[in-house]
Amino acid sequence: MSGEPKPRRTRTALLCALGLAAASAGLWAGLGGTSSAHAAASVPTPDHVIVVVFENHAYSQVIDSSSAPYINSLKSGGANLSASYAETHPSQPNYYAMFSGATQGITDDSCVTPGFSAAPNLASELIAAGKTWASYNESLPGEGSTTCSSGKYAQKHNPWFGFSNVPTSSAHTFAQFPTDYSTLPQVSYVVPNLCSDMHDCSVATGDSWLKKNLGAYATWAKTHNSLLAITFDEDNRLSGNKIPTVLYGQQVTPGSSSSTQYNHYNLLRTIEDMYGTAHAGQAANSTDITGIWTS
């Protein structure tokens, strides 16, 4: 019986040490450091995430519009973020914001010097965490091409080319998008060309493109622990930069919605936390998208 106090003191010391370690981790994170990578408990961990970005339309131009029956079917079967906002105007700074948590000093749509920045971003974080990443870019002249423009292709919608820490070989043409969805990387962006993304063509054109090219993936995602995220770069400059954002997949509660105000940084933070990566730029100060997940 006389030996009992010693293990009690040992347990107390251990608990104190654990508390100190937890406090230290919290302090380090608060100072901008990163702690061990694990998926956040508030969000699921899909096998695959695809983010599709459309162009220059306000929330009211798409959500509940007869011009976008497919997007609205995904809204009904998935989740609608009814207070989703872009950061600025014009297009290109928003793409950098959603990919890296900052506009990286970009204020216009001019082509950038490839690899001009080494700032952390979604792709570099995923790669550092041992996860897989790719982009699929409609009308890109060839895999890894950093050309400024070509036909209906525009570099301004492809922020990965601005980062030296993202392999250009991870930027594929849309023709390389796999038909076996199980071979997709864990996270990928799909960027339609200037017509398919509703920039030069109608909402109906973009909606039809989405159904034709990603409808089968959306159906597959519903039964294969995967996610389709649809968002826009900016509004039409007439609606306070309120944009459509719809999430659809197996772990999204059908018919759910959130009126919490979110932006591209919240979407970035959510994907980062799904895969336990570090947080880029303003994503570190943002919250996850919550209230729409089945678990």
Region of 86 please: left (phi>0), alpha (psi -120 to 50) or beta: beta
Q: Is residue 40 part of a domain?
A: no
* Residue burial 218-234, b: 16+ Cβ < 10 Å; e: rest: bebbbeeebbbbbbbbb
Within 8 A by CB and 6+ apart from 33, the residues are none
Same domain, 92 and 182: yes
Please give the pLDDT value at position 38: 55
Provide the domain limits for residue 55.
Answer: 45-285
Q: Is residue 181 part of a domain?
A: yes
Same domain, 135 and 18: no
Same domain, 272 and 232: yes
| Pairing verdict, β 187-191 and 48-54 | parallel
Q: Is residue 173 part of a domain?
A: yes
Q: What is the CATH number of the domain that holds 190?
A: 3.40.720.10
Within its chain, how far is the Cα of 175 from the centroid? 21
Please give the pLDDT value at position 15: 33
H or E element, residue 191: strand 187-191
**Packing angle, helices 69-77 and 203-221, rounded to 10:** 30
Within its chain, how far is the Cα of 88 from the centroid? 17
Residue ranges of alpha helices (H) inside the chain are 5-30, 59-62, 69-77, 91-100, 122-128, 203-221, 264-274
Query: Tens of pLDDT along 64-93?
Result: 999 999 999 999 999 999 999 999 999 999
CA 197 to CA 191: how far, in whole Å? 8
Q: Is residue 107 part of a domain?
A: yes
262-263, strands of its sheet edge to edge: 242-243, 84-85, 262-263
Sign of the Cα torsion 148, 153, 156, 162 reads negative
Residue 114: CB atoms within 10 A of its CB come to 17
Residues of the chain with pLDDT under 70: 1-39
Q: Is residue 153 part of a domain?
A: yes
Same domain, 247 and 137: yes
Say how many domains are in the chain: 2
Please give the pLDDT value at position 295: 80
Q: Which residue has the tokens 């979407």?
A: 267
